[in-house]
Amino acid sequence: MSQNYEELDFKKTPIGDLMLRRRRMFQLGDTDIYEVKLGEHYLMTSLFHESESQLARIGLDKTDHEELDIIVGGLGLGYTAAAALEDRHVKSLVIIEYLDAVIEWHQKHLVPLGKTLTEDSRCQIIQADFFAVSRDDTKSFNPEFPDKKYDVILLDIDHTPTHVLNQTNKHFYTEQGLSEFSRHLKKGAVFGLWADGAPEKAFCDHLAKVFSHSESHHIQFENPITGGSSEGTVYTAIRK
């Protein structure tokens, strides 16, 4: 029987104090809720994860490549990667996660999808800075295959293109940053990004200049905490 509140892990990291906790809410009965905080920011919750799943489903739906090599930027609680692995076309999936502690949560099965991801032979988790690698097309997201490019790259790390967890991430969301990043994709490959809130016009304009085709998909989903709905955006773009 779980406690009503339990701190499962706490670590100091280069970008703030990181906490994983499990709790229950009276109105939800015996449902265990897993939450991640970074400093004062709530990064994610298992209570609603439609956004992470929609990122994978919408992103993969945009490609016609038969066998898919995928990168997921940001591990979190694993919902984006798990949704992507449901697609039978996925041949390999590499998750790039900056924080060692988040990787450990999955390896130790402290979070609900830890076993799902770590026991899938197609899935590999690599500790690295997604944004640093994205700027350097002489390196691959997977050091074992330095020349490899990818069919789909899905990103869910920052809140939005303008509300970032670390100021060094801002470069990625510029026209130059996206241009550098695009060289990690195969021709005709897909980039997908989740962000909170409504689409941002400036970022849409950057995507349109770098990629051959881009779209923003407005997503609404139920929020059990507020009793209402929340919104977000999945941006998709196709490499020229």
- The model's pLDDT over 55-111, given as tens digits with 9 standing for 90+, comes to 999 999 999 999 999 999 999 999 999 999 999 999 999 999 999 999 999 999 999
* 109 and 196 share one domain: yes
Give me the residues paired with residue 35 across strands: 21, 45
**Which of 40-44, 183-187, 221-225 shows the lowest mean pLDDT across its residues?**
221-225
pLDDT cut 70: percent of the chain above it: 97
Instruction: Look at the chain and report how many structural domains it folds into.
Output: 2
Q: Is 170 exposed, middle or buried (0-12, 13-18, 19+ CB in 10 A)?
A: middle
- One domain for residues 124 and 234: yes
Tell me, yes or no, whether 155 and 36 share the same domain. Answer: no
Q: Residue 93: CA atoms inside 13 Å, Cβ hemisphere, count?
A: 28
Work out the percent of the chain whose per-residue pLDDT is above 90. 80
pLDDT band with cut points at 50, 70 and 90 for residue 228: confident
Span 21-51, pLDDT tens digits: 999 887 777 889 999 999 988 889 998 888 8
N-to-C CA span, the chain: 53
Residue 41, burial from CB neighbour count under 10 angstroms (0-12, 13-18, 19+): exposed
Same domain as 77, residue 9: no
Q: Domain of 211?
A: 49-238
My answer on whether 16 and 129 are in the same domain is no
Tell me how many degrees the CA angle 127-107-161 measures, rounded to the nearest 5.
45
The CA-based angle 210-53-90, given to 5 degrees, is 75
pLDDT for the residue numbered 3: 65
Query: What does the pLDDT read at residue 41?
Result: 84
What is the pLDDT at residue 129?
97
Which residues have CB under 8 Å from 187's CB, separation 6+?
239, 240
pTM, to two decimals? 0.94
How many Å apart are CA 98 and CA 132, to the nearest integer?
10
Residues 177 and 229 in one domain: yes
Q: Which residues pair with 21 in a beta bridge?
A: 7, 35
What is the per-residue pLDDT for 1?
42
Mean pLDDT of 178-200: 96
H runs (alpha helix) in the chain: 50-61, 79-85, 100-107, 114-118, 130-134, 175-182, 201-210
Residues 78, 103: one domain?
yes
Same domain, 69 and 116: yes
User: Which single residue is written with the structure tokens 């390896």?
Assistant: 107
**Whether residues 84 and 191 fall in one domain:** yes
Q: Are 19 and 107 found together in one domain?
A: no
Same domain (yes/no): 80, 11 = no
Residues 122 and 158 in one domain: yes
At 31 the pLDDT is 85
Per-chain mean pLDDT for the chain? 93
Which residues, 6 or more positions from 85, have their beta carbon under 8 angstroms from its beta carbon?
93, 116, 117, 120, 122, 123
At 113-150, the pLDDT tens digits run: 999 999 999 999 999 999 999 999 888 999 999 999 99
Q: Interhelix angle for 175-182 vs 201-210, to 10°? A: 40
Residue 2's pLDDT is 54
Give residue 189's pLDDT: 97
Distance CA 55, CA 155 (A): 8
